[in-house]
Amino acid sequence: MSSSPAPDALLGPADVRELAAALGVRPTKQRGQNFVIDANTVRRIVRTAEVRPDDVVVEVGPGLGSLTLALLETADRVTAVEIDDVLAGALPATIAARMPERADRFALVHSDAMHITGLPGPPPTALVANLPYNVAVPVLLHMLDTFPSIERTLVMVQAEVADRLAAPPGSKVYGVPSVKAGWYAEVKRAGAIGRKVFWPAPNVDSGLVSLVRRADPVRTTASKREVFAVVDAAFAQRRKTLRAALAGWAGSAAAAEAALVAAGVSPQARGESLTVEEFARIAEHAEHAGNAEHAGNAEHAEHAGNAEHPAPAAEAAHAAPAVRTAVSTREHADTEESGQQ
């Protein structure tokens, strides 16, 4: 159970500027640095995240510590993952100075969040973070995948990304982030954050996204990698029917159609209309795509007078999109993230 910190333990506008000046940190829009300066906002985030006194919270990109301090007011433990050398070096001292009675409940991991494979102390039960915009989705998915103990997540991201993450099938903004987040959790928008609570104020709005770990994982014999390969292929050409969009994945349009029919999905449907469960069913029937492709190649070879050596079925190989490494402070990118189809 946490003890009550001093009333002025959280960072206000003057505190943030003073800390930044002492560290030689000069936030600029060019560098994408925007620090939260409003104590009411970080407390609201903690309330919306439903952080409990027994929670072990992991935070990505704590920056100067505005949200970190608010989390320590309520959670049992907080582990912050910070990549920036200067900010990582200063954060423990900030915690010790402003919340000494909780300093022993805080841990810092100086690392790139995309490379994290483990954390000190008990397994995290919650992820609460003000995520860097340009890597928000990759970091979120990596953390959910790496730490299955995370039951509840609340992240602050660019409003447009929040809409994509929480979009239902059939929505205009439903896409790769929506489906992949849905693989792990029930996702919903949890509020909006104004620009004035940041220093300097960004030129985009922010949104809160709540993710509650699925009580029942997606039931499928396909692996996550296999399912995500289908998702990536379906949205790479989102205006095309699945028969056409999945042709590369399956080896041919005919092979894609065979897999779709076997999965009970219309070949004329488009990716934005499918649930994560339907994508999983398609991945399960990849063998139908292989069989159809093999038959098609054999027929082609026979007509060519080379039936003894039919061309092999094309393998479905899909490399993950390149991802920039996580940065310590919020980055507001006007361009869409990689994979934000």
Which tens digits make up the pLDDT trace of 207-261? Answer: 999 999 999 999 999 999 999 999 999 999 989 999 999 999 999 999 999 999 9
Residue 4's pLDDT is 52
| Secondary structure of residue 152 in the 3-state scheme | strand
Q: What is the mean pLDDT of the chain?
A: 85
Whole-number Å distance between alpha carbons of 212 and 236: 27
Residue 324 has pLDDT above 50, yes or no: no
What is the band of 202 on the pLDDT scale with cuts at 50, 70, 90?
confident
Q: Is the dihedral of CA 112, 325, 58, 228 positive or negative?
A: negative
- DSSP string of 102-148, one letter each residue: GGGGEEEEES-GGG----SSSPPSEEEEE--GGGHHHHHHHHHHH-T
Q: Of all helices (H) and strands (E), which one includes residue 124? A: none
Residue 286's pLDDT is 87
* Under 8 Å between Cβ of 243 and 254: no
Whole-number Å distance between alpha carbons of 7 and 331: 30
Determine the residue type at 162. Answer: A
Between the alpha carbon of residue 205 and those of residues 11, 173, 301, the distances in Å are: 22, 17, 57
Eight-class DSSP state of 265:
-
Which tens digits make up the pLDDT trace of 55-93? Answer: 999 999 999 999 999 999 999 999 999 998 999 999 999
**Cis peptide bond upstream of 200, omega within 30:** yes
Residue 133's pLDDT is 78
Structure tokens at 98: 């402003």
φ, ψ (nearest 5 deg) of residue 236: -65, -30
Determine the residue type at 262. Answer: A
* Under 8 Å between Cβ of 94 and 9: no
Average pLDDT rounded to a whole number, residues 100-118: 97
Which tens digits make up the pLDDT trace of 156-168? Answer: 999 999 999 999 9
Residue 108 has pLDDT above 80, yes or no: yes
* Under 8 Å between Cβ of 307 and 298: yes
Structure tokens at 66: 């505005």
| Secondary structure of residue 233 in the 3-state scheme | helix
Residue 170 has pLDDT above 50, yes or no: yes
Q: What percent of the chain has pLDDT over 70?
A: 80
Strands of 106-110's sheet in order across: 106-110, 77-82, 56-60, 126-130, 152-158, 206-213, 185-193
Q: Of all helices (H) and strands (E), which one includes residue 223? A: none
